[in-house]
Structure 1
Amino acid sequence: MVKHIVLFKFKKTGDIASVKAAMQEFKSALEALKDKIPFLRFIEVGINENPKEDFDMCLVTEFDSMEDLANYAVHPDHVAATRIIKDIKEGRACVDYTF
């Protein structure tokens, strides 16, 4: 099994309400992938509630293989979800490991 963990940082400038709305839309779109991508074994998405921390959102997913993870990355529904945050994403950190 492969665990894919991504931390997202979003821009703090501009319309904060719009950023928060986009974060919620992105969260919902990611969670909906469970029913659209059969090789996505597990997904959990959390919005950070501690303003003292550096990252705003966390994504945890599990796959049977690195190949499935690679296919997830280019899956049209995943790509569409990532477009939601293209204008507000400031940074991203990722770790992929087998367990």
Structure 2
Amino acid sequence: MVKHIVLFKLKDDASADAKLAAMHAFKDAIEALPAKIPFIRKIEVGLNINPAETWSIALYSEFDTLDDVRQYAVHPDHVAAGKLLAEVKESRACVDYEL
């Protein structure tokens, strides 16, 4: 099993309303993906409630193989979900590890 963890930092200069709207739209879109991408074993998006922290969004997902993660990364529905953060995203960090 491969665990895929992604953190997103949002732009400081983006408005709070824009960030919140993008965060919720992204969460809804990502959490709808298992119905469209059958090889996702588990997926969830957490929205940081602690304003003192740097990262705003955590995405946690599980796949059978790293190849599944790679297919997920380029899947059109996943790409569309990622675009929901385009205006407010500053950076992204990712770790994929195998159990």
For the superposition of Structure 1 and Structure 2, which TM-score range results when normalised by the shorter chain? over 0.9
State the Cα distance separating 1:71 from its structure 2 match: 0.2
Q: What is the match of residue 41 of structure 2?
A: 41
Alignment-derived partner of residue 66 in structure 1: 66
Post-superposition Cα deviations, 1:5-25, rounded to whole Å, max 9, x if no partner, equal 000001121421121111100
Query: Any conservation in 1 of the 2:73–2:79 contact (CA below 8 Å)?
Result: yes
Aligned 8 A contact 2:18 2:88 in 1: no
Match in the other structure for 1:32: 32
* Structure 1, gaps ≥5 residues long: none
Partner secondary structure for residue 91 of structure 2: strand
Give the aligned CA root-mean-square deviation in angstroms. Answer: 0.8
**TM-score, normalisation: structure 1:** 0.96
Number of residue equivalences: 99
2:96 aligned with 1:96: yes
Q: Name segments (4+ residues, structure 1) moved above 3 Å.
A: none
The 2-side partners of 1:62 and 1:14 are apart by 31
Give the corresponding residue for 2:56: 56
**Identical amino acids, percent of aligned pairs:** 56
Q: Deviation per CA, 1:18-49: give whole Å up to 9, x if none.
A: 21111100110000001110000000110000
